[in-house]
Amino acid sequence: MQKIVYTAHLELRLKIRKIPYGYPTRVCEEPDQTFYDQIEGNHIAIKKLKYGGKIRNMMIAYEEKDDSIEIITIHPITDEKIINRTLNERWTKHE
């Protein structure tokens, strides 16, 4: 397994959104879905986790480096947004 690195931006997002610190690693290591973002050039991983009192899709965007995975950001995302981004081919399924 590659080393997982949290960017400064991700650390800030975790604080602002009050997301548990370990969530980005959990999403990265055990995703329910994975995609490639054609516009941003990032990998996307999504996992259903408890957030804000509900089970929600938590999305991370990350880059794969030679010896590490750099997680850029995390946020909740709706099923509708996931469907929309795949239908308009911004996100392509990544197995």
Instruction: Summarize pLDDT for 12-51 with one digit per residue, the tens.
Output: 999 999 999 999 999 999 999 999 999 999 999 999 999 9
Number of domains in the chain: 1
Q: Is the pLDDT reported for residue 95 higher than 80?
A: no
Question: pTM, whole model, 2 decimals?
Answer: 0.94
Instruction: Summarize pLDDT for 48-64 with one digit per residue, the tens.
Output: 999 999 999 999 999 99
CATH of the domain at 81: 3.30.2310
> Would you call 78 helix, strand, or coil by DSSP?
coil
Q: Which residue range forms the structural domain that includes residue 33?
A: 3-93
Distance CA 59, CA 87 (A): 17
**Res 16: pLDDT:** 96
Distance CA 49, CA 1 (A): 22
Q: Is the pLDDT reported for residue 94 higher than 90?
A: no
Distance CA 75, CA 82 (A): 13
